[in-house]
Amino acid sequence: MSAYVALKHLHMTAAYLTVTLLLGRLMLDAMGIAGWRQTPMRWVPHLNDTVLLAAAIGLLGVGGWNPLEQSWLAVKLALLCGYICAGVFALKPSRGWRARFVAAVAALVQVILIICLATTKPGLF
C-alpha cells in the first residue's frame, strides 16, 4: 500500500470517527450523563482529531493538494473552522440547551458538507 493510500485510509477512518464521537458526546449530554467528561471520552476525540488533521497535512504533502488551487479544499478548510467552533460550543455545559442544540446542528451540517466536498471535489470558483 502506498503512503498516500495509507494516509487516506487513516484520514477517512478518523473523519467518520470524529462524527461518531461528536454524536456520542451530544447524546450522553442529552441523556444527562455529563460524567463522560471524567472518562477517556474527554480526550479520545482530541486524539482522533489530531490524527485526522495530521493525516490531512500528510495528504497535502504527499498528494500535492493545494487549497489555493482546489476550491473545494479551501471551502473545506473554512467549514472545518466552523465545525470546530460549533462543536466546542455545543459541548459547553455552561450554555443554554437551545443555543447548544443550534450549535450541534450547525456542527453536524458542516461536517456533512465537509465529507460531501471531499467525496465529490467540485470546482466551486
Residue in 21, 22, 26, 59 binding ligand HEM, rule: CB under 6 A: 59
Q: How far is the CB of 78 from ligand HEM (least distance, A)?
A: 10
CA-closest candidate to residue 115, choices 88, 62, 67, 79: 79
The interface with ligand HEM within residues 68-107 (CB under 6 A) comprises: 73, 76-77, 80, 83
DSSP 17-85: HHHHHHHHHHHHHHTT-GGGGGSGGGTHHHHHHHHHHHHHHHHHHHH---TTT-HHHHHHHHHHHHHHH
Q: Which of 21, 91, 107, 111 binds ligand HEM (CB under 6 A)?
A: 111
Identify which of 66, 61, 77, 47 has the alpha carbon closest to the alpha carbon of residue 7. Answer: 61
Locus of grid cell 449530554: 29
**15 binds ligand HEM per the rule CB under 6 A:** yes
Determine phi and psi for 67, rounding to 5 degrees: -60, -20
**Distance of closest approach, residue 70 Cβ to ligand HEM, in angstroms:** 8
The CB-of-16 to ligand HEM minimum distance in angstroms stands at 7
- The single residue among 44, 54, 60, 85 that binds ligand HEM, judged by CB under 6 A, is 60
Residues of the shown chain interacting with ligand HEM in the complex, contacts defined by CB under 6 A: 8, 11-12, 15, 18, 52-53, 56, 59-60, 63, 65, 67, 73, 76-77, 80, 83, 111, 114-115, 118-119
